[in-house]
C-alpha cells in the first residue's frame, strides 16, 4: 500500500496573516560593469546573486595560485608535508619572473614562508619551489592541480602551470574561480585565514598583500588578485557581514582601480538586497516517521548537509516549506536512505528541493514485531 503524507511547515507566517507581513521593495537589476565576466555567489547556499558571462573561458593569471595554495593545504592536511619542511630553492624557481618573494637559489626556505609568499606576495618563485617540493616537478604538480579541479567540478578549467603565467591552454571561468574560492574557505579555513594578512617580510623585503579590498572593506578577508596583459585585471574577493558570506569574481577589468570599483559595487548590491538564512543543520531531525517491522518504532529524517537559503531581504516570513514522504518505511533501514523530499517555496517559486534521508539505521525487529506489523500493514 502506498503511504503518502504531505505536511506543511510555515516559517513564522500563514496565509491568514499575510496582511501583517512587510514585504521588501522589489530587487533592482544588478549594476553593470566593464569587465569580461563577473559574479557574486553566496558562499553557504551557492546562489548566484550577480552573474555576467560566468562560463566564458578566460585567463586566470595569478588567480591560479588559489589552486596552488589549495593543493598545498590539502597536502598539509593529509600529512604529506609539514609547514616546518625546508625546501631547497631550485634555479628554475629562482629565475621566475613577475611577482616574487625574492628567494635565492640553493637556499632553504620553509613551506610556511613559501606558502605565505604565494598567498600574500603572489610569488611566482614561491609557487615553483612549493610545486617542486610537493610533486618533484611543476609538470607533475600541475597534474595534481587538474585532479583537484576535476574533484571540485571545475569543468571549465585547465591548468598548465602553478603560477598563472600566460599559456594558450591555461584557462578557467568566473564560475570555476568562485567554486575554488568557496572550496578553499570550506575545506582549509586555517590556510584561508592567511589571505587576510596584510603584509609579509622575507629576506628583508616587506611586501603588502596585493588585495587592496582588505583595506577598503572591513568585512573582506580574502582572496586573490591576478593580472597579465592578456588576462586584464582580475580579483576574487570574499567578505562576511553578519552571518552572510559572499564570494565575488571579476575577470578582465581594465585596471587595478577598476577591478576594485566593480568588486565594491557588486558586493554592496548583493549585501544590500539579499540575506542568507540557515534553515536546518546536517543531521537535525526535521520530521519523524513510523517504522514497520523494526527494532525501533520511529525514525528521524533530515538533510545530509547544512541547508542554507539566500533570498531578497524582507522575504523570510513569506517562505513556505513542505515535506513529501513516500511509501511506508519497513525495516531494515540504512542511514542515508532517501525517504522523502523537502521543498522550500517563495511566492510560488520553488527555491529548494532536497532529499530527506534517514538519520540512523534501524534493523529488523523480533519475529513477533514483524508478524504484528505485517497484519497492521494489511489493514492500512
**Residue from 37, 45, 74, 122 carrying the catalytic annotation:** 122
What is the C-alpha to C-alpha distance for residues 178 and 47, in angstroms, rounded to an integer? Answer: 11
Active-site choice (37, 45, 62, 99): 62
In DSSP terms, 102 is beta-bridged to: none
Q: Is 130 helix (H, G, I), strand (E, B) or coil?
A: helix
Q: Is 252 left (phi over 0), alpha (psi -120 to 50) or beta?
A: left
> With left for phi above 0 and alpha for psi between -120 and 50, is residue 116 left, alpha or beta?
alpha
Active-site pick, 65, 224, 293, 354: 65
Count CA within 13 A, CB hemisphere, residue 129: 35
Instruction: Give the pairing type, strands 298-302 and 349-358.
Output: antiparallel
Strand ranges inside the chain, DSSP E = 5-10, 37-42, 48-52, 86-88, 108-110, 199-202, 205-208, 220-228, 232-241, 244-253, 274-280, 287-292, 298-302, 307-312, 319-325, 329-330, 338-346, 349-358
**Closest by Cα among 101, 91, 96 to 123:** 101
For residues 25 and 8, give the distance between their C-alpha atoms in angstroms, rounded to a whole number. Answer: 27
- Whether 65 sits among the annotated catalytic residues: the reply is yes
Q: Is residue 212 flagged as an active site residue?
A: no
Question: Do the bridges between strand 287-292 and strand 329-330 make them parallel or antiparallel, or are there none, so unpaired?
Answer: parallel
Helix segments in 152-228, DSSP class H? 174-187, 189-192, 213-216
Cβ density class 311-329: b for 16+ within 10 Å, e for less: bbeebbebbbbebebeebb
* Cβ atoms 328, 380 nearer than 8 A: yes
**How far, in Å, are 282, 328, 333, 337 from residue 358 at the CA level?**
12, 13, 8, 5
Residue 361 is among the residues annotated as catalytic for this protein: no
* Residues with a known catalytic role: 62, 65, 122
Amino acid at each position: 500500500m502506498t503511504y503518502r503524507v504531505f505536511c506543511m511547515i510555515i516559517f513564522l507566517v500563514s496565509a491568514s496573516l499575510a496582511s501583517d507581513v512587510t514585504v521588501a521593495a522589489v530587487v533592482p537589476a544588478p549594476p553593470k560593469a566593464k569587465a569580461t565576466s563577473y559574479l557574486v555567489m553566496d558562499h553557504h547556499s551557492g546562489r548566484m546573486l550577480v552573474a555576467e558571462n560566468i562560463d566564458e573561458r578566460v585567463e586566470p593569471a595569478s588567480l591560479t595560485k588559489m589552486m596552488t595554495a589549495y593543493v598545498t593545504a590539502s597536502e598539509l592536511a593529509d600529512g604529506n608535508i609539514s609547514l616546518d619542511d625546508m625546501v631547497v630553492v631550485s634555479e628554475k624557481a629562482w629565475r621566475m619572473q613577475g611577482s616574487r618573494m625574492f628567494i635565492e637559489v640553493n637556499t632553504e626556505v620553509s613551506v610556511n614562508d613559501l606558502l605565505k609568499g604565494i598567498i600574500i606576495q603572489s610569488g611566482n618563485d614561491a609557487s615553483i619551489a612549493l610545486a617542486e617540493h610537493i610533486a618533484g616537478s611543476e609538470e607533475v604538480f600541475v597534474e595534481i592541480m587538474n585532479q583537484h579541479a576535476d574533484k571540485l567540478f571545475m569543468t571549465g578549467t585547465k591548468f598548465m602551470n602553478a603560477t598563472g603565467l600566460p599559456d594558450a591552454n591555461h584557462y578557467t571561468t568566473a564560475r570555476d574561480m568562485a567554486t575554488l574560492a568557496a572550496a578553499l574557505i570550506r575545506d582549509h579555513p586555517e590556510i584561508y585565514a592567511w589571505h587576510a594578512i596584510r603584509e609579509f617580510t622575507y629576506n628583508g623585503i616587506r611586501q603588502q598583500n596585493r588585495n587592496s579590498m582588505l583595506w577598503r572593506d572591513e568585512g573582506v578577508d580574502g582572496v586573490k588578485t591576478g593580472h597579465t596583459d592578456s588576462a586584464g585585471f582580475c580579483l576574487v574577493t570574499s567578505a562576511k557581514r553578519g552571518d552572510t558570506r559572499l564570494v565575488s569574481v571579476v575577470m578582465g577589468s581594465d585596471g587595478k582601480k577598476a577591478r576594485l570599483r566593480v568588486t565594491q559595487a557588486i558586493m554592496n548590491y548583493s549585501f544590500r538586497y539579499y540575506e542568507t538564512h540557515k534553515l536546518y543543520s546536517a543531521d537535525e531531525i526535521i520530521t519523524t516517521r513510523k517504522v514497520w517491522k523494526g527494532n525501533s518504532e520511529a525514525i528521524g529524517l533530515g538533510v545530509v548537509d547544512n541547508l542554507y537559503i539566500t533570498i531578497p531581504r524582507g522575504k523570510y516570513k513569506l517562505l513556505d516549506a513542505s515535506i513529501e514522504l513516500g511509501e511506508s518505511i519497513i525495516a531494515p533501514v540504512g542511514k542515508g536512505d532517501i525517504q522523502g523530499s523537502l521543498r522550500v517555496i517563495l511566492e510560488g517559486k520553488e527555491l529548494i528541493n532536497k532529499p530527506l534521508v534517514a538519520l540512523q539505521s534501524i534493523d529488523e525487529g523480533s519475529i513477533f514485531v514483524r508478524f504484528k506489523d505485517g497484519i497492521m500493514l494489511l489493514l492500512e
